[in-house]
């Protein structure tokens, strides 16, 4: 079977080849080609898209070389309608087929229209009006455009509208875009700023200070309030804000209370809390025991102070500046002194002036001084100091008492006065004084 089928197929092939060959030779014995001598020509009118990149282009076609045409485009289905719409820029091949199946082909080019915006510069200008209140939305931008015509306007990419006026705006950044009749665009940025809610707001903080009742105590307080706005909260020394303006538990010191209103506007005031005066009601008395200065000795006056009143340990000062622990001041020259005592709270009290005086000269010294005044001063004074001696100075008599005795009593190495020894009663006064000690106070 298989072999027979193969032979028969081969025979059909040979037969067909002969027929085809006969037709191509134009033999009358084969069916005529209906398209022979038929030329199908396709013509068309291209309508470009109205916008660059648009797809509303179209091609209206017609054909000749037969009748009953159908058309396809770019290999699509054949249709009887002669217009292809919805075309973007590009190359399109249209085939027209007549009722006999004969076809013709043309290629059409759909082009974008020239860009209407090239060379067009649209400038948007505008007048922004800021919101009048913080958080308000009564700001506006009145925009206009130049560089073309037929503008519509959009804000922040919204719908285009005929007016360039945009109202009801809060603070923020805005872009206004203008579009002309060809769809060409221009834009500008605007910023609306909310007013500073604190400008013109003066917040005044006042308060009542209650000082600690004890030195170092922490029961002081500040009761503060504010005016100039509303919705105040308060803080002290930069701490957390609280609703109340009362701050308790304060020690002595400097404090700043700030008030903040509902918009965050601030005002502040400084307050100082002071400890009670520890010296109020404290009286410190100082009594002095004075030892007088002895002449012709190094300054040896002395004051011993005794303080009473006050708290804690006293310190003492002769001049009120330098305080010492000791209540004894020695090596004092004659003169008035005021002793100040300071207690543990630095409360002070002062004495009445304590006068360090010179002790008076003694009776024996007075007698010797009188002897020398009469018998020696003529040759031993300020202007004439024989042998370097000046007996008008009391302390010279004390200092050089041995020389006085040697010359005036013992005539050693020679008598003074040079004219001869003094009467023995006078010399005895010198002896008595020296025997008693030879001091100013003897
Ligand atoms: C008339 C003058 C004169 C009279 C008065 C006089 N002197 Fe002199 N004195 C002298 C002369 C000059 C010297 C120096 C020469 C000498 O040291 O001898 C002197 C020196 C001294 C000296 C120092 C020398 C020494 O030895 O340390 C003493 C002290 C002195 N006289 C004590 C006295 C006494 C005390 C008297 C009174 C009682 C006195 N003189 C009265 C003239 C006088």
What CATH number should be reported for the domain holding residue 259?
Answer: 2.60.40
For residues 257 and 318, membership in a common domain is answered with no
More confident residue, 117 or 153: 153
- For ligand 1, whether the C-beta of 409 sits within 6 Å is no
* Residue range 62-86: mean pLDDT, rounded: 96
CA atoms within 13 A on the CB side of 53: 3
Q: Residues 6 or more apart from 385 whose CB is under 8 A from it?
A: none
The rounded Å distance from CA 387 to ligand 1 centre is 6
For residues 226 and 171, membership in a common domain is answered with no
Q: Which of 54, 87, 110 represents a domain boundary (last residue)?
A: 110
Percent residues over pLDDT 70 in the chain: 93
Q: Please check the confidence at residue 15 and state whether its pLDDT lies above 60.
A: no
Per-residue pLDDT, 379:
97
Instruction: State how many domains the chain has.
Output: 6
Whether residue 33 lies inside any domain: the answer is: no
Per-residue pLDDT, 2:
40
* Residue range 420-433: mean pLDDT, rounded: 96
Confidence class for position 19, pLDDT limits 50, 70, 90: very low
CA-to-CA separations, 404 to 309, 392, 410, in angstroms, rounded: 54, 13, 9
Residue 294's nearest CA partner among 222, 193, 395 is 395
Whether residue 31 lies inside any domain: the answer is: no
Report how far residue 112's alpha carbon sits from residue 54's, in angstroms, rounded to the nearest whole number: 8
Strand partners, 106: 94
DSSP string, 238-275: T---BS--EEEEEPSEEEEEEEE-TT--EEEEEEEE--
* Residue range 18-31: mean pLDDT, rounded: 49
CA-to-CA separations, 16 to 30, 36, 279, in angstroms, rounded: 11, 20, 143
For residues 174 and 129, membership in a common domain is answered with yes
Whether residue 339 lies inside any domain: the answer is: yes
Report how far residue 431's alpha carbon sits from residue 269's, in angstroms, rounded to the nearest whole number: 85
Per-residue pLDDT, 295:
78
Least confident of 25-29, 184-188, 319-323, 328-332: 25-29
Q: Each residue of 72-83: pLDDT tens digit?
A: 999 999 999 999
Per-residue pLDDT, 191:
97
For residues 229 and 269, membership in a common domain is answered with yes
| Closest residue by CA, ligand 1 atom 1 | 379
For residues 258 and 296, membership in a common domain is answered with no
Q: Are 31 and 18 in contact (CB under 8 A)?
A: no
Q: Each residue of 317-327: pLDDT tens digit?
A: 998 889 999 99
DSSP string, 107-140: EEEE-PPPPTTTT---EEEEEEE--SSTT---EE
For residues 188 and 131, membership in a common domain is answered with yes
CA angle 148-153-157, nearest 5°? Answer: 125
Q: Please check the confidence at residue 375 and state whether its pLDDT lies above 70.
A: yes
Report how far residue 125's alpha carbon sits from residue 151's, in angstroms, rounded to the nearest whole number: 13
Q: Are 153 and 185 in contact (CB under 8 A)?
A: no
More confident residue, 322 or 7: 322
Per-residue pLDDT, 23:
40
Per-residue pLDDT, 208:
97
- For ligand 1, whether the C-beta of 397 sits within 6 Å is no
* Residue range 312-335: mean pLDDT, rounded: 93
In angstroms, how far is CA 6 from the centroid of its own chain?
A: 105
Per-residue pLDDT, 104:
96
* Residue range 252-267: mean pLDDT, rounded: 96
For residues 240 and 264, membership in a common domain is answered with yes
Per-residue pLDDT, 292:
84
Strands (DSSP E) found in 237-369: 246-250, 253-260, 266-273, 285-291, 301-308, 315-317, 328-332, 335-337, 340-342, 348-350, 354-356
Average pLDDT over all residues of the chain: 91
Q: Residues 6 or more apart from 370 whose CB is under 8 A from it?
A: none
Per-residue pLDDT, 296:
80
Confidence class for position 310, pLDDT limits 50, 70, 90: confident
Whether residue 18 lies inside any domain: the answer is: yes
Report the CATH number that the domain containing residue 324 is assigned in CATH.
2.60.40.1080
Q: What is the DSSP letter of 319?
A: S
Substitution site in 381, 386, 422 for ligand 1 pocket (most atoms within 8 Å of beta carbon): 386
Whether residue 117 lies inside any domain: the answer is: no
Confidence class for position 29, pLDDT limits 50, 70, 90: low
* Residue range 64-75: mean pLDDT, rounded: 96
Q: Please check the confidence at residue 440 and state whether its pLDDT lies above 60.
A: yes
Q: Which of 321, 336, 356 represents a domain boundary (last residue)?
A: 356
Per-residue pLDDT, 25:
46
Per-residue pLDDT, 290:
86
Residue 265, burial from CB neighbour count under 10 angstroms (0-12, 13-18, 19+): buried
Whether residue 10 lies inside any domain: the answer is: yes
Q: Please check the confidence at residue 18 and state whether its pLDDT lies above 80.
A: no
CA angle 309-312-318, nearest 5°? Answer: 70
CA atoms within 13 A on the CB side of 13: 6
Substitution site in 371, 373, 374, 376 for ligand 1 pocket (most atoms within 8 Å of beta carbon): 376
Whether residue 431 lies inside any domain: the answer is: yes
The rounded Å distance from CA 416 to ligand 1 centre is 5
The rounded Å distance from CA 213 to ligand 1 centre is 78
Whether residue 280 lies inside any domain: the answer is: no
The rounded Å distance from CA 362 to ligand 1 centre is 24
More confident residue, 364 or 115: 364
Q: Which atom of ligand 1 is nearest to the CA of 400?
A: 29
Report how far residue 412's alpha carbon sits from residue 403's, in angstroms, rounded to the nearest whole number: 9
- For ligand 1, whether the C-beta of 407 sits within 6 Å is yes
Q: Which atom of ligand 1 is nearest to the CA of 414?
A: 18
Per-residue pLDDT, 76:
96
The rounded Å distance from CA 225 to ligand 1 centre is 93
Q: Which of 340, 356, 372 represents a domain boundary (last residue)?
A: 356
Q: Which atom of ligand 1 is nearest to the CA of 422?
A: 38
Q: Please check the confidence at residue 1 and state whether its pLDDT lies above 60.
A: no
Here the contacts of 15-21 (C-beta below 8 Å, separation 24 or greater) are none
Q: Please check the confidence at residue 366 and state whether its pLDDT lies above 70.
A: yes
pTM of the model: 0.44
| Closest residue by CA, ligand 1 atom 22 | 387
Strand partners, 424: none
- For ligand 1, whether the C-beta of 389 sits within 6 Å is yes
Domain extent for 7: 1-25
Least confident of 8-12, 299-303, 418-422, 429-433: 8-12
């Amino acid at each position: 079977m298989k072999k027979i089928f193969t032979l028969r197929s081969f025979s059909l092939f040979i037969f067909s080849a002969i027929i085809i060959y006969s037709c191509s030779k134009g033999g009358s014995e084969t069916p005529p080609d209906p398209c022979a001598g038929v030329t199908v020509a396709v013509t068309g009118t291209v309508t470009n898209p109205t916008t660059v990149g648009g797809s509303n282009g179209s091609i209206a076609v017609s054909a000749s070389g037969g009748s009953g045409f159908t058309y396809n485009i770019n290999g699509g289905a054949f249709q009887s309608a002669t217009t292809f719409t919805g075309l973007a820029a590009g190359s399109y091949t249209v085939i027209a087929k007549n009722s006999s199946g004969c076809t013709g082909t043309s290629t059409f080019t759909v082009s974008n229209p020239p860009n209407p915006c090239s060379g067009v510069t649209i400038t948007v200008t505008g007048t922004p009006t800021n919101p009048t209140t913080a958080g308000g939305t009564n700001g506006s931008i009145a925009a206009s455009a130049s560089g073309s015509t037929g503008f519509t306007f959009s804000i922040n990419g919204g719908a285009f509208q005929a007016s360039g006026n945009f109202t009801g705006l809060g603070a923020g950044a805005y872009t206004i875009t203008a579009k002309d009749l060809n769809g060409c665009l221009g834009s500008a940025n605007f910023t609306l700023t909310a007013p500073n809610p604190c400008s013109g707001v003066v917040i005044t903080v006042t308060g009542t200070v209650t000082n600690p009742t004890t030195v170092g105590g922490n029961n002081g307080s500040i009761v503060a309030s504010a005016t100039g706005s509303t919705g105040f909260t308060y803080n002290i020394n930069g701490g957390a804000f609280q609703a109340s303006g009362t701050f308790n538990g304060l020690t002595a010191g400097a404090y700043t209370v700030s008030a903040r209103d509902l918009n965050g506007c601030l005002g502040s005031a400084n307050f100082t809390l002071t400890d009670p005066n520890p010296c109020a009601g404290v009286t410190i008395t100082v009594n002095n025991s004075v030892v007088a200065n002895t002449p012709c000795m190094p300054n040896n006056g002395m004051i011993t102070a005794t303080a009473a009143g006050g708290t804690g340990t006293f310190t003492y000062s002769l001049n009120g500046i330098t305080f010492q622990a000791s209540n004894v001041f020695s090596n004092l020259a004659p003169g008035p002194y005021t002793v100040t005592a300071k207690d543990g709270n630095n409360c002070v009290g002062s004495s009445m002036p304590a006068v360090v005086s010179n002790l008076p000269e003694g009776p024996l010294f007075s007698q010797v001084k009188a002897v020398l005044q009469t018998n020696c001063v003529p040759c031993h004074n300020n202007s004439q100091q024989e042998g370097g001696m000046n007996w008008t100075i009391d302390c010279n008599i004390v200092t050089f008492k041995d020389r006085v005795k040697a010359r005036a009593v013992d005539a050693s190495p020679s008598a003074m006065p040079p004219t001869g020894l003094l009467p023995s009663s006078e010399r005895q006064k010198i002896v008595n004084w020296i025997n008693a000690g030879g001091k100013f106070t003897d």
